Amino acid sequence: MLITFFRAIMLYIIVLIVMRLMGKREIGQLQPFELAISIMIADLASIPMTEIGIPIFNGIIPILGLLVMHLFISILNLKSLRARQIICGKPSILIYRGKINEKALKKERFTINELQERLRGNNIVNLGDVEYAILETSGEVTVIQKPEKRNTIPEDFNIQPDYEGIPYDLVVDGKIMDENLKNIGKNYAWLKKQVEKFGIKPEEALVVTLDGKGQIFCQKKEED
């Protein structure tokens, strides 16, 4: 029992490291070869995890082999457009200039109902509002609405909004984010002065953030 416990922990760590090295894609964004490798890794890890009679390296070595294969295919995709098209495929245009591409639907085995479902996932309920719908190689559907149906943006009214930048976490759960303070050219003394305006110390804050406009948000941690 104890051996199974430690084998499970070891395999979990190995799989976690391998998946981390494979990148940060979400499951819905995996290319076909990445999904296949992920499934195979899970299957290879499960066998030596439960079968004590099987040496644990019988699971670890094939997993590392799949990692090498993944890295090789990824490099090949970067170097060769032709290889990328063969391995990952090419995007398919399901709706072109407002007209449904029936040939593409049949090729990708997409029904009209599935297309409508994907459009609703993009907050579009009317087929007539779509200019282009593209089925990406990851299986996601990218939708471009007709110009008259798109949401207005400041540029449509010749408005130039102020630059906002990105917000920085300065304190998270009472811990000072020293690197972020350094990135904005500030120090602890400055942070303390800002947070004291809210009646607390930085270490007492649940979160402190600084947005691109210089506005500070601060919330105190609840007492236990």
DSSP string, 183-208: HTT--HHHHHHHHHTTTS-GGGEEEE
Q: Name the residue range of residue 182's domain.
A: 168-220
> What pLDDT was estimated at residue 1?
61
Rounded to an integer, what is the distance from CA 60 to the centroid of its chain?
27
> What pLDDT was estimated at residue 29?
61
Contacts of 138 (CB under 8 A, 6+ apart): 28, 29, 30, 31
Determine, yes or no, domain membership for 127.
yes
> What pLDDT was estimated at residue 176?
94
Other C-beta atoms closer than 10 Å to the C-beta of 44 total: 20
pTM of the model: 0.60
Give the whole-angstrom CA distance, residue 105 versus residue 126: 18
Last residue of some domain: 121, 149, 177? Answer: 149
Last residue of some domain: 86, 118, 133? Answer: 86
Rounded to an integer, what is the distance from CA 151 to the centroid of its chain?
25
Determine, yes or no, domain membership for 138.
yes
pLDDT tens for each residue of the chain, 224 residues long: 677 777 778 877 887 777 777 665 555 566 677 777 888 888 888 777 777 777 877 778 888 888 888 888 888 878 887 877 777 778 899 999 989 999 999 988 888 888 999 999 988 888 889 999 999 887 889 999 988 887 777 777 777 777 767 889 999 999 999 999 999 999 999 999 999 999 999 999 999 999 888 889 999 988 76
Determine, yes or no, domain membership for 157.
no
Q: Under a CB-based contact definition with an 8 Å cutoff, are residues 183 and 212 in contact?
A: no
Last residue of some domain: 86, 102, 136? Answer: 86
Give the whole-angstrom CA distance, residue 73 versus residue 202: 47
Determine, yes or no, domain membership for 161.
no
